Amino acid sequence: PRTENGGGGAGGGGGGGFNSAGLSDVKLYVGNLSYDTTEDSLRSVFETHGEVSDCFLPTDRDSGRPRGFAFVTMQAADAEKALVVDGTEVDGRAVRVNESRPKTDRGGGGYGGGGGRGRGGGGGG
Protein backbone atom coordinates (compact mmCIF):
# COMPACT_ATOMS: atom_id res chain seq x y z
CA PRO A 1 0.00 0.00 0.00
CA ARG A 2 2.09 2.92 1.22
CA THR A 3 5.70 3.27 0.18
CA GLU A 4 8.21 5.04 2.37
CA ASN A 5 7.50 8.59 1.31
CA GLY A 6 9.04 10.48 4.21
CA GLY A 7 10.52 13.20 2.02
CA GLY A 8 8.07 15.86 3.22
CA GLY A 9 9.42 16.42 6.68
CA ALA A 10 13.07 15.94 5.78
CA GLY A 11 13.27 19.25 3.97
CA GLY A 12 13.04 21.16 7.23
CA GLY A 13 16.80 21.53 7.47
CA GLY A 14 17.92 20.08 10.78
CA GLY A 15 14.72 20.59 12.70
CA GLY A 16 16.04 18.45 15.53
CA GLY A 17 14.31 15.27 14.44
CA PHE A 18 10.78 16.62 14.14
CA ASN A 19 8.26 13.77 13.93
CA SER A 20 11.05 11.19 14.09
CA ALA A 21 8.40 8.47 14.44
CA GLY A 22 7.01 9.41 11.03
CA LEU A 23 3.43 9.76 12.26
CA SER A 24 0.74 11.19 10.01
CA ASP A 25 -0.59 13.37 12.84
CA VAL A 26 1.61 15.24 15.28
CA LYS A 27 0.59 16.59 18.68
CA LEU A 28 2.16 19.95 19.51
CA TYR A 29 2.71 21.18 23.05
CA VAL A 30 1.84 24.86 23.47
CA GLY A 31 3.16 26.39 26.69
CA ASN A 32 3.17 29.76 28.48
CA LEU A 33 -0.43 30.43 27.51
CA SER A 34 -2.43 33.22 29.05
CA TYR A 35 -5.22 32.03 31.35
CA ASP A 36 -7.52 34.08 29.08
CA THR A 37 -6.70 31.97 26.02
CA THR A 38 -9.63 29.83 24.90
CA GLU A 39 -9.66 26.68 22.84
CA ASP A 40 -11.29 28.59 19.98
CA SER A 41 -8.74 31.40 19.95
CA LEU A 42 -5.84 28.96 20.09
CA ARG A 43 -7.36 26.81 17.36
CA SER A 44 -7.68 29.86 15.09
CA VAL A 45 -3.97 30.70 15.59
CA PHE A 46 -2.95 27.23 14.43
CA GLU A 47 -5.55 26.93 11.66
CA THR A 48 -3.61 29.57 9.71
CA HIS A 49 -1.04 26.78 9.16
CA GLY A 50 -3.40 23.90 8.40
CA GLU A 51 -6.31 21.86 9.71
CA VAL A 52 -6.42 21.32 13.47
CA SER A 53 -7.80 17.86 14.24
CA ASP A 54 -7.73 18.32 18.02
CA CYS A 55 -7.17 21.13 20.50
CA PHE A 56 -7.05 20.43 24.23
CA LEU A 57 -6.59 22.95 27.07
CA PRO A 58 -6.27 21.10 30.38
CA THR A 59 -8.06 22.87 33.24
CA ASP A 60 -7.37 22.89 36.95
CA ARG A 61 -9.60 20.37 38.70
CA ASP A 62 -10.39 22.68 41.61
CA SER A 63 -10.68 26.13 40.05
CA GLY A 64 -11.76 25.11 36.54
CA ARG A 65 -9.28 27.63 35.12
CA PRO A 66 -6.94 26.74 32.26
CA ARG A 67 -3.54 25.48 33.40
CA GLY A 68 -1.53 27.64 30.98
CA PHE A 69 -0.69 25.05 28.35
CA ALA A 70 -2.42 23.13 25.59
CA PHE A 71 -2.03 20.37 23.03
CA VAL A 72 -2.84 20.93 19.36
CA THR A 73 -2.95 17.99 16.94
CA MET A 74 -2.38 18.56 13.22
CA GLN A 75 -1.19 16.64 10.17
CA ALA A 76 2.59 16.30 10.32
CA ALA A 77 3.42 18.71 7.49
CA ASP A 78 1.06 21.36 8.87
CA ALA A 79 2.34 20.86 12.41
CA GLU A 80 5.89 21.42 11.24
CA LYS A 81 4.82 24.68 9.58
CA ALA A 82 2.96 25.68 12.73
CA LEU A 83 6.19 25.57 14.75
CA VAL A 84 6.68 29.19 13.62
CA VAL A 85 4.06 30.12 16.23
CA ASP A 86 6.81 29.47 18.84
CA GLY A 87 7.76 32.80 20.39
CA THR A 88 4.84 34.73 18.94
CA GLU A 89 2.36 36.55 21.12
CA VAL A 90 -1.02 35.00 21.84
CA ASP A 91 -3.26 36.97 24.20
CA GLY A 92 -0.29 39.01 25.41
CA ARG A 93 2.06 36.08 26.16
CA ALA A 94 4.96 34.76 24.06
CA VAL A 95 3.97 31.13 23.67
CA ARG A 96 6.26 28.11 23.41
CA VAL A 97 5.49 25.52 20.75
CA ASN A 98 7.24 22.22 20.26
CA GLU A 99 6.47 18.64 19.37
CA SER A 100 4.79 16.90 22.28
CA ARG A 101 6.75 13.93 23.59
CA PRO A 102 4.86 10.91 24.91
CA LYS A 103 5.02 10.87 28.70
CA THR A 104 6.44 7.38 29.00
CA ASP A 105 9.01 7.59 31.74
CA ARG A 106 7.30 9.44 34.53
CA GLY A 107 10.23 8.92 36.90
CA GLY A 108 12.82 11.63 37.22
CA GLY A 109 11.88 14.12 34.55
CA GLY A 110 15.00 16.14 33.77
CA TYR A 111 17.11 14.24 36.26
CA GLY A 112 17.08 10.98 34.30
CA GLY A 113 20.79 10.90 33.51
CA GLY A 114 22.03 12.32 36.80
CA GLY A 115 22.74 8.96 38.44
CA GLY A 116 25.69 8.24 36.20
CA ARG A 117 27.93 10.88 37.74
CA GLY A 118 29.73 8.65 40.22
CA ARG A 119 30.70 5.98 37.71
CA GLY A 120 33.54 7.85 36.02
CA GLY A 121 35.99 7.88 38.92
CA GLY A 122 35.73 4.19 39.76
CA GLY A 123 37.98 2.82 37.02
CA GLY A 124 41.31 3.96 38.47
CA GLY A 125 42.23 0.69 40.20
Cβ atoms of residues 64 and 115 within 8 Å: no
Q: Which range, 16-20, 25-29, 104-108, has the best average confidence (pLDDT)?
A: 25-29
More reliable by pLDDT, 13 or 23: 23
For 106-121, what is each residue's pLDDT tens digit?
555 455 444 444 555 5
Q: Is the pLDDT of residue 4 over 50?
A: no
Counted residue by residue, the chain has a size of 125
Which among 85, 76, 73, 79 has a CA at the least distance from the CA of 31? Answer: 85
In the sheet that holds 25-31, the strands lie side by side as 52-56, 70-75, 25-31, 96-99
* pLDDT of res. 85: 97
The 10 Å Cβ neighbour count of residue 30 is: 26
More reliable by pLDDT, 61 or 117: 61
